[in-house]
Structure 1
Amino acid sequence: MFGALSPAQPAHTPDSSLIGVRRRWREVTAGAAYDVTAEPYRTRLAAAGAKAARHRDTMAPAGGSLWGDLPFPSYVATPARLREMAQAFALPGTGVTGDAALGAAVAAGIDHYRRRVYAAGAEPVGNWWHWQIGVPKRLLDAAVLIGPHLGDRQSARLRDAVDHFVPEWRLRRYSGNSTGANRVDLCLVMLLRAMLRSDPEKADLAVSALSPVFPLVEEGDGFYRDGSFIQHTFIPYQGAYGSTLLAGVATMVAVLRGSPWEITDRAVFDTVERSFAPFVHNGFCMDLVRGRGVNRGPFGDHERGRQIAASVLLLGETAEPAVRARWQGMVKGWERRNTHVPMLEAAEREDLGFHARLAAIVADDTIPAAGEPDGHRLLAMSARAVHRRPGWCAALSMASDRIGHYEHGNGENLRGWHTGSGMLYWWAAGHGDQYSDSFWPTVDPYRLPGTTVSTRRLPDGAGAGWGDTCPPGRWVGGATDGHYATVGQHLYGLESSMEAFKSWVFLDDAVVCLGAGIAGADGVPIETVVDNRRTGNSLVMGGNWAHLDGHGGYVLPPGTRTLRERRGDGLVRRDYVTLWLDHGTDPTSAGYFYMLLPGASRDETSARAADPAWVTVLANTARQQAVRVPSLGIVAASFWNDGTAGPLSASAPCAVLAREHSDGTATLTVSDPRRDLAELTVTWSRPAREILRTHALVTDVGLGPELTVTFGRLSDHHGSSITLAFA
């Protein structure tokens, strides 16, 4: 349990215990152990000290500001500047380390801001987050770093202000804005509050209040069994709230290590590889789990990837040796492969503690850099999928009855309308900046790659805010054996009458894409966007195929349309190559079939297009979608209704991946994407004589000239896949 006292620790007294915690806080958050006389630390620390001295010398307390360039309320910039000054005071080698004038200036600034903005009894204005998390965390951090320079009376008044805006009941109820990452931030505020006034009871609360964060959930905010992490009820969020959560807990674990409040629960360690690592590719965190933050600035995905990497290394310091070694190899691999925003260089600018940890493993030849994992991760509860094969990676973003089309809020991401309409991200060699370099402010928001959309014009911020844009579609998910996958989405358009059935089959060198039952009555065309690449490279059309130089190839249906354009406004403009299918105005039952070949050469693309037997479409209707790939022994099907598709039959809606192996064995993978089946029978017209691997939910198996398997309550499996093996 979080908050359990280590049996080796004595009962705590205020000073004996919290003095050590304050010392560890400075060590962990202000900088790791490194030689301050060595580069790059010497230069960076000196620069931080010079900056802090300038802020000290230009501080001019007034009624409406602490510095003239930061007029109040300045909820972010002023508290952040005070914290920067306090860090320069606490860190060795800054030239102002322990400088009494700097410490006094920080103390005066904290008290001035408290009196003018953050006063006990004041009414919070605007976003609650500033008052309960952002402002108190920075002010308290600065106060702890300068220690006794904040006098007893000033300290007591800051305490009273924090207690006013962050009362204890906020951490006793796990609801509203006190869940997930917000709860962890509130716990950090409470821990800092405990350090400020040597209050062990506040430390008890800070740690015990973490306990609801990590138990697996089945709805709402939190971590799910399949690795999903949800915040704001409807949004997959490993790459923003989740990364903040991981950073906060990693910090608390490190700071409280060896103290009476040592965190003994290891649940957070399970989330690293289950929930976060699947969405970090070559050092950046994929946008499909970054919510409304995707268009805050260029290369934000790389910034979040670094934050996750920093947390993994810090948390790894308290992990089991084998786990620590594995995580160090994983982060080292991320660092080596991120050539667009080199991780070590960025860490030097942003976080010297992270830089020191990262530099140590980069220089350690005994730590091998791990490669990208090979396989498929399908997170059905968050309608996300990630497919990795040597040389390329793809990720799929969908919306469902539990996951919103997109999130907008606080004026952000106002045109992310269609990111949940089957957006297919993909990266081949050298594509680490494809969605990083001003993609979101310049891409056509009606033509996101992979999506099927009504071209009906939408207002900025269409639909409810904060992700509450869930469509009614329940069949969203698929089946994966961990290597290959078939994924489907019963798609409903955002604020349109459009409906479609979309399937993707993820293979070794291709993604097979199917659409059926595409209909709408908005009086506008409906389009499926094969791709929209941010590139100026040449596109060659070859009949039923296309090749985009430096990117990959496509096997296409007749009538595929193309467009080359330069988009953006002001100084930010980017080149795009778009391929799309026009289904016409108000279609009633349109469909499509195409293949994406990431990283393929022109010859490989034309050869695949000239081989119609490589993949056979067995069904492509609003009842079933299925393909056969003979060379891989695969039959993959989305059963939107009961029925038969090629050699497979199902008694109810489900996803099925059947695979014959070269050694004569076979596997059958099944899932219940709608999460409502009390019973399901799947038949495969293939001889089977023996069960090699079964599952507790299997209630009956029929062997012989064909294989028949009956499953019990698949609804209890939450959309996850079950794989059986036969001979």
Structure 2
Amino acid sequence: MKRNVIVFIGCLLLVQVLFAQADTVLNRYKQYLFRTFEVSDDAGQLQASLSSEGRWSDIDYNDQERGGWKPLLHLKRLRQLAYAYVNPQSKFYHQTQTLQSIELALSDWLQHRYKCPNWWHNEIGVPQQMRDIVILIGPSLSPTQLQGALEILGQYRIQSNSTGANLTWTADLGLHYGLLTKDSALVQKCRNLLVNEIKITTVDGVQPDYSFHQHDKRLQMYQYGAAFLKENVRLAWELRETALAFPKEKINVLTDFLLEGWQWMARGINTVPGTMDRSASRKNALHSPDVRELLPFFIELAPEKKTELASIANHQNGHGALSGFRYYPYSDFAAYQQPDFSLFVKTISTRTQVTESINSENLKGRLLNSGDAYLIHDGQEYFNLMPAWNWNYLPGITSFGGADKIIRKDFAGSVTDGKTGLTSMDYVLANKDGSAFISAKKSWFCYGNTVVCLVADLKGQNVDSAYTAMDQSRWRSAVTVNKESNMLAEGNHHIRHIKWVHHNNFVYVPLGNATADVRLQSVTAKWSDINTSEPNEPVKEKIFMPLLLHKNLSRVQSFGYIAAFCKTPAEASCIAKNPGCKILRNDSTCQVVSFTDGSLMAAFFGPGVVAFKGGRLSVTKPCLLLLKDGKLYASDSLQSNDSVRVQLNNKVYDVQLPANGFSTKGLSLK
């Protein structure tokens, strides 16, 4: 009996503490909105264009679009008006007319309670907007309107099977609903759900390599991963130093996710479609890595990481860059960062999923996650270029007319010492019914300012010709081919014996006797062609597309090219003459490249041997190797939890390979 009384008193005290701190948390959320939401003069135009019924004439209130559902814009505008009304920096601060417009627009929503065929808008998108409206201007509303607004917020649903970002979204809403309605049990439940979801996992959420999955084994770093990171950092900041505070170990997970994953998959604020799947078809999506407004809150939560977090801010403000190689084996993604450029490669295996196209998004992106490789210097190479892309020619892919899907294979991985590295995959691309396909081995070797791209054992089944897109980026400067004076005009240029092509700080150097098309095109396109929720107005772009052409695929072919950062055609010519690397083998057994300092990188697709200047190297099974500075690094591209016997000249090394695709620590060869 005594124990029950103690428990009851403890619970009662906790409830009282939560109630006392509810205003603190809600006020902090309001502060967060003030610090991250800009004051806009649009509020005047929004008031002027609001009808007497409380609607805006340019919104289709009958829209049934699952993605960019039009009626949600009504609440976004209402939120904007609410912010203008309560912000002392706004000229609409506490203006009677502004409050009347808010009440009128809110009444319309409460009367009609618009519904979307997509559950996400009804249970997350709409309640999110209404939460902000209530927290901003709840005290200024009539009791009836406040009750109605809380009912809209109460549309959130915490599903028993929710994970990752979806759980974060709904539990966040539930927590604030509980704070607003004085429901301490709900507040505690939602806080616990939020905390428990901040973890390293192999289902939806933060992976052991600090990539992020949602919708199965699918890399969604800057869509669902963005929601997970940004909402949880904000929540942790709201709840800090209260009875609901997130434990320090959870803050550490968020910090590591940002430092070890997030910042490496972007160059500053710029990322590539390979990191974000279907959301790459959304306007401005490639700037989603931008966390500059979040970093001050993060620093308050993790002051011991202030230096590292400030470095991210510098990079995102265009000052400095990361340097090194990172591989994310749980997502088949490689990032190579240098002071002047970045390379991002999205491969695929039986351990990861193909791209998704739902809610009428990503309508042309069927070949994403198929070895697409992107070169970025300043971020304008691909930003908002997606509508104008020819999606059959994604940067880096080897393909053919009629190709429809990637066939996932077991072999995919990377090896690295943290500074340099290679990534490799077994490659099969097929048409829709599988009656025609091409197969090859593909690898990218990263060293200094150079990326060596090798394709071996290319052959076709019912396919006679194919191509490799060395790039497809925005045409921004002169395009020079083979010699400094040979600048190309707009058009399709068929070039035999191409030696090099230079454009906008990059040179592409085909290896051997190659034939290429260099396409320089002006394109008019629409965002709605790739995402029905996006604008239908035409946009004009200019496209640079250098293609290597492959004929007679009944005969096995092996080839490659070098991509390197260089500012001028004169530098390009020098790199073509002396690339600083040597291709030792490029066939169905292995792809091996050596560099001028003696470093060697090798992708073995089975047992094999290769001779090089330093001697002879052999392996007993498929693996990836890096020999550098007297050390051996290895990884298991099959993730089979096995070991490999490596023989270097007369010395034999039995190397246990990490089961998860990570590289071994350097093994001394001395």
| Residue number in structure 2 paired with 1:634 | 599
TM-score with structure 2 setting the length:
0.85
| Residue number in structure 1 paired with 2:35 | 31
Pick closer, same or farther for the CA change 1:454–1:550 going to 2, 3 Å.
Answer: closer
- How many Å separate the matches in 2 of 1:626 and 1:282? 32
1:45 deviation in Å? 3.7
CA contact (8 A) 1:518 1:587 kept: no
| Residue number in structure 2 paired with 1:324 | 306
Pick closer, same or farther for the CA change 1:579–1:94 going to 2, 3 Å.
Answer: closer
| Residue number in structure 1 paired with 2:137 | 146
* Structure 1 residues 339-358: aligned runs within 5 Å: none
| Residue number in structure 2 paired with 1:711 | 655
Q: Which amino acid aligns with 1:325?
A: T
Q: Which amino acid aligns with 1:568?
A: V
SS in 2 for 1:404: coil
Q: Which amino acid aligns with 1:310?
A: E
Aligned match for 2:347, one of 392, 398, 420: 398
1:608 deviation in Å? 3.6
After superposition, the C-alpha distances for 1:485-538 in whole angstroms (9 at most, x for unaligned) are 021011121545222110111011211111112122244522122233421522
- How many Å separate the matches in 1 of 2:60 and 2:568? 57
1:677 deviation in Å? 3.3
1:10 deviation in Å? 6.9
SS in 2 for 1:413: coil
| Residue number in structure 2 paired with 1:484 | 420
| Residue number in structure 2 paired with 1:166 | 156
Aligned match for 1:300, one of 271, 282, 285: 285
CA contact (8 A) 1:456 1:524 kept: no
| Residue number in structure 1 paired with 2:581 | 615
- How many Å separate the matches in 2 of 1:154 and 1:573? 46
After superposition, the C-alpha distances for 1:138-186 in whole angstroms (9 at most, x for unaligned) are 11220121122334444444444544x4345x2xx3x3xx222222111
| Residue number in structure 1 paired with 2:397 | 451
| Residue number in structure 2 paired with 1:384 | 333
Pick closer, same or farther for the CA change 1:19–1:51 going to 2, 3 Å.
Answer: farther
SS in 2 for 1:317: helix
- Which range moved further: 574-583 or 480-489? 574-583
SS in 2 for 1:310: coil
- How many Å separate the matches in 2 of 1:406 and 1:152? 47
Instruction: Report how many residues are paired.
Output: 614
| Residue number in structure 2 paired with 1:680 | 644
SS in 1 for 2:88: coil
CA contact (8 A) 1:272 1:312 kept: no
Pick closer, same or farther for the CA change 1:167–1:534 going to 2, 3 Å.
Answer: closer
| Residue number in structure 2 paired with 1:66 | 55
SS in 2 for 1:502: strand
- How many Å separate the matches in 1 of 2:171 and 2:355? 29
After superposition, the C-alpha distances for 1:82-121 in whole angstroms (9 at most, x for unaligned) are 2112112221122333445644653554354133125xxx
Q: Which amino acid aligns with 1:448?
A: L
Pick closer, same or farther for the CA change 1:477–1:305 going to 2, 3 Å.
Answer: same
Query: What is the aligned-residue identity percentage?
Result: 21
- How many Å separate the matches in 2 of 1:71 and 1:604? 55
- How many Å separate the matches in 2 of 1:718 and 1:511? 21
- How many Å separate the matches in 2 of 1:491 and 1:601? 34
- 2:26 pairs with 1:22: yes
SS in 2 for 1:487: strand
Unaligned runs of 5+ in 1: 1-6, 33-40, 119-123, 338-368, 464-469, 686-704
| Residue number in structure 2 paired with 1:76 | 72
CA contact (8 A) 2:411 2:426 kept: yes
SS in 2 for 1:235: coil
* Structure 1 residues 152-551: aligned runs within 5 Å: 152-163=143-154, 165-168=155-158, 170=159, 173=160, 175=161, 178-218=162-202, 220-264=203-247, 265-266=250-251, 267-297=253-283, 299-302=284-287, 304-306=288-290, 308-320=291-303, 322-335=304-317, 337=318, 371-428=320-377, 431-436=378-383, 438-456=384-402, 458=404, 471-495=407-431, 496=434, 497-523=437-463, 525-535=465-475, 536-541=477-482, 545-551=499-505
Pick closer, same or farther for the CA change 1:192–1:101 going to 2, 3 Å.
Answer: farther
SS in 1 for 2:186: helix
CA contact (8 A) 2:346 2:373 kept: yes
1:52 deviation in Å? 5.9
| Residue number in structure 2 paired with 1:467 | none
Pick closer, same or farther for the CA change 1:668–1:440 going to 2, 3 Å.
Answer: same
- How many Å separate the matches in 1 of 2:166 and 2:346? 24
Aligned match for 2:513, one of 549, 558, 580: 558
1:59 deviation in Å? 4.6
- Which range moved further: 502-511 or 523-532? 523-532
* Structure 1 residues 641-652: aligned runs within 5 Å: 641-646=606-611, 647-652=616-621
CA RMSD of aligned residues (A): 2.7
Q: Which amino acid aligns with 2:61?
A: F
CA contact (8 A) 1:649 1:684 kept: yes
CA contact (8 A) 1:477 1:673 kept: yes
Q: Which amino acid aligns with 1:683?
A: Q
CA contact (8 A) 1:505 1:513 kept: yes
1:238 deviation in Å? 1.6
- How many Å separate the matches in 1 of 2:464 and 2:110? 56
- How many Å separate the matches in 2 of 1:48 and 1:125? 26
1:129 deviation in Å? 0.6
- Which range moved further: 45-54 or 181-190? 45-54
Q: Which amino acid aligns with 1:563?
A: V
After superposition, the C-alpha distances for 1:324-377 in whole angstroms (9 at most, x for unaligned) are 233123213321x2xxxxxxxxxxxxxxxxxxxxxxxxxxxxxxx6x2121111
After superposition, the C-alpha distances for 1:630-673 in whole angstroms (9 at most, x for unaligned) are x22111111111222233222211111111x3xxxx11110012
| Residue number in structure 1 paired with 2:489 | none
Q: Which amino acid aligns with 1:449?
A: P
Pick closer, same or farther for the CA change 1:544–1:112 going to 2, 3 Å.
Answer: closer
TM-score with structure 1 setting the length:
0.79
SS in 2 for 1:285: coil
| Residue number in structure 2 paired with 1:592 | 559
1:249 deviation in Å? 1.0
Pick closer, same or farther for the CA change 1:205–1:102 going to 2, 3 Å.
Answer: farther
Aligned match for 1:606, one of 537, 550, 573: 573
- How many Å separate the matches in 1 of 2:646 and 2:72? 57
CA contact (8 A) 2:157 2:170 kept: no
Pick closer, same or farther for the CA change 1:522–1:82 going to 2, 3 Å.
Answer: farther
- How many Å separate the matches in 2 of 1:594 and 1:670? 24
| Residue number in structure 1 paired with 2:491 | none
CA contact (8 A) 1:29 1:251 kept: no
Pick closer, same or farther for the CA change 1:156–1:720 going to 2, 3 Å.
Answer: farther
- How many Å separate the matches in 1 of 2:422 and 2:233? 36
| Residue number in structure 2 paired with 1:342 | none
- How many Å separate the matches in 2 of 1:380 and 1:588? 33
After superposition, the C-alpha distances for 1:427-467 in whole angstroms (9 at most, x for unaligned) are 23xx420101x421222222222211122165xxxx6xxxx
Pick closer, same or farther for the CA change 1:544–1:207 going to 2, 3 Å.
Answer: same
Q: Which amino acid aligns with 2:293?
A: A
CA contact (8 A) 1:405 1:494 kept: no
Pick closer, same or farther for the CA change 1:711–1:152 going to 2, 3 Å.
Answer: farther
| Residue number in structure 2 paired with 1:353 | none
CA contact (8 A) 2:355 2:369 kept: yes
Q: Which amino acid aligns with 1:539?
A: T
CA contact (8 A) 1:478 1:673 kept: yes
Pick closer, same or farther for the CA change 1:51–1:380 going to 2, 3 Å.
Answer: same
1:720 deviation in Å? 4.2
